Chain A
């Protein structure tokens, strides 16, 4: 395996959880809901996914449990913000804190439990193609799922009527309501989708990335996924670019250190964030300061009768 191939494989592993989390969050935000509970939903996915996989002995049961756990968490958020029209920022932060705590309780009996990593695909001829073979055809199912999600979300938002309705809810919920669309129901589905993706990303962490459970193991990846959505200015393809940029810089800086490149490691660790700021500045200046976020993002909607 060449060095290039090795780095590429590591970048894919590091980027996948960010990509899965961010693409779910994107749909949620395009419907006009800002769910800062990402970190909490993700870690609940990691805890429940690992627990279910240990108890059942089957990784796919774990994955399913993780998705359901993420959705259950997001349902709490939906009840607060849609049902009770509570402040989305506060509810989201509360969900993050709640998830971190609850996952610790759920995961407690599984600390120190050990599982083998989920099997990777191995297509006999294709994985033997030099350089790209392993990267393209030898990944675990999550990687393919992440790309499928990006394509699916892009197609849904840009090419279907339902996607247009979701976007309408995000841009102007009053108009969408006036046109007769059930804004709250649509947002509920978007929130659930975001929660499911977050749970899936969490499952990736505890079943593939580092196959064990440990409290706080998401270590801020939920927040990074949120940042990537902003970085991407709410476009699916840019989410893909953002996730891989974050993953790529993280891995490259580790390699640079190992190779003895004399740049302070703190600077390299901060690099992805610096790049985010830079990209945001560029995007904003090219648009002349015009808003890129969905116009109704973060505003509660109370249907009038």
Chain B
């Protein structure tokens, strides 16, 4: 069942908390009710879409044992209310599926001790808050390698959403990958201050292409930048889902998210009474995401990309091995070292050599 934010809002005000969203009250006792809160519309064809694919997978695998509710296009400052509302309707497991939902989740979780929260990314757990995320940076490294091979102007264009560590370390990793092929690679970054605004994402892509970027990486949720790359005859990567069909001539690969298996695992844990707060950060090897089939690349380029991908998946190559030097010249990780997960997740600096202003 899908409902949007406004319907839940109406339910909240009209029925003052007693609303059961479209389901009979007697059904509450038996199946585990699982709530999903999305930051974008289910139809963004990216991030939120893939969480919803995960939700459907959960229903498919668990059958009548679960009952799911999804609330889409929720603003971060509205999340606490939506979560409270879901909890009142009997949802005992709630996935808050955005980077921007972590703080609200931490605020609302202590007030609802009987509900288990799962926040997609965050910096700490709580007795009833788990963290889960995928190591998308592993895919970004491969993107950098491919971009360095495909770019003629030696300039990557990066459409960034917000200057949060998840995005900052992704920019760093793309360049790490690109420099491993060609140290002269450069990057231009545009911050669009939105996860989802197709028009502005497309405008940003236009601006970057006009400035000479010929491989476009997007860290936003819509296929607009890739579609524009296709129109303008440059290359690009898909984000969150396989976006090949939006850009048959431009698409190189997409990072395809897969949350369903994790959702099944966690729902089973709640039913079995074994749910514990955890902190899962799955990489390419975990199956939490994969790279879509490489397209518009020569066989040599494909085999190189596959080699790098497999090296990362098996742990032979780590994108955050030292030395890592910050843009201001100070050393973050010395040679021979490796950034810890906490360091990666708190990364608020760009590497030396990336000449880009980082909004504070």
* Chain A interfacial positions (CB closer than 8 Å to B): 3, 6-7, 10, 13-14, 17, 97, 100-101, 104, 107-108, 111-112, 114, 117, 205, 209-217, 219, 221, 250-251, 254-255, 257-266, 269
Q: Cβ of A107 and Cβ of B43 under 8 Å apart?
A: yes
Q: Which of the residues A3, A254, A260 comes within 8 Å of B355, measured between beta carbons?
A: A260
Q: Cβ of A210 and Cβ of B359 under 8 Å apart?
A: no
Which B residues are CB-close (under 8 A) to A263?
357
* Chain B interfacial positions (CB closer than 8 Å to A): 4, 6-7, 40-45, 49, 72-73, 157, 188-194, 196-204, 206-208, 210-211, 213, 222-224, 227-228, 231, 245-246, 355-357, 359-360
* A114-B245, A210-B222, A212-B227 given; A266·B4 CB < 8 A: no
Complex: how many Å from CA A117 to CA B247? 12
Which B residues are CB-close (under 8 A) to A205?
199
Which A residues are CB-close (under 8 A) to B246?
114, 212
Q: Cβ of B189 and Cβ of A104 under 8 Å apart?
A: no
* A10-B207, A215-B73 given; A104·B224 CB < 8 A: no
Which B residues are CB-close (under 8 A) to A111?
42-43, 45, 49
- Told that A111-B43, A250-B200, A265-B191 touch, could you supply 9 new A-B pairs with CB distance under 8 A? A7-B207, A13-B206, A14-B203, A101-B6, A210-B224, A215-B44, A217-B222, A219-B194, A260-B356
Which B residues are CB-close (under 8 A) to A112?
43, 45, 245
Complex: how many Å from CA A77 to CA B16? 29
Complex: how many Å from CA A117 to CA B202? 13
Complex: how many Å from CA A101 to CA B9? 13
Complex: how many Å from CA A112 to CA B6? 23
Q: Which of the residues A250, A264, A265 comes within 8 Å of B203, measured between beta carbons?
A: A250
Q: Cβ of B43 and Cβ of A215 under 8 Å apart?
A: yes
Q: List, sorted by A's number, 26 A–B pairs whose CB atoms are closer than 8 Å.
A: A3-B210, A6-B206, A7-B210, A10-B206, A13-B206, A100-B6, A210-B222, A210-B224, A210-B227, A211-B227, A212-B45, A213-B43, A214-B41, A214-B43, A215-B41, A215-B72, A216-B73, A217-B222, A219-B194, A251-B207, A254-B200, A257-B357, A258-B188, A258-B208, A265-B359, A269-B193
Complex: how many Å from CA A257 to CA B200? 13
Residue of A nearest to B205 (CB): A254
Which B residues are CB-close (under 8 A) to A260?
188, 355-357
Q: Cβ of A216 and Cβ of B41 under 8 Å apart?
A: yes
Which A residues are CB-close (under 8 A) to B231?
117
Complex: how many Å from CA A13 to CA B200? 11
Which A residues are CB-close (under 8 A) to B199?
14, 17, 205, 209-210, 217, 219, 221
Q: Which of the residues A14, A100, A108, A210 comes within 8 Å of B43, measured between beta carbons?
A: A108
Complex: how many Å from CA A97 to CA B356? 39
CB distance from B295 to the nearest CB of A (A): 15
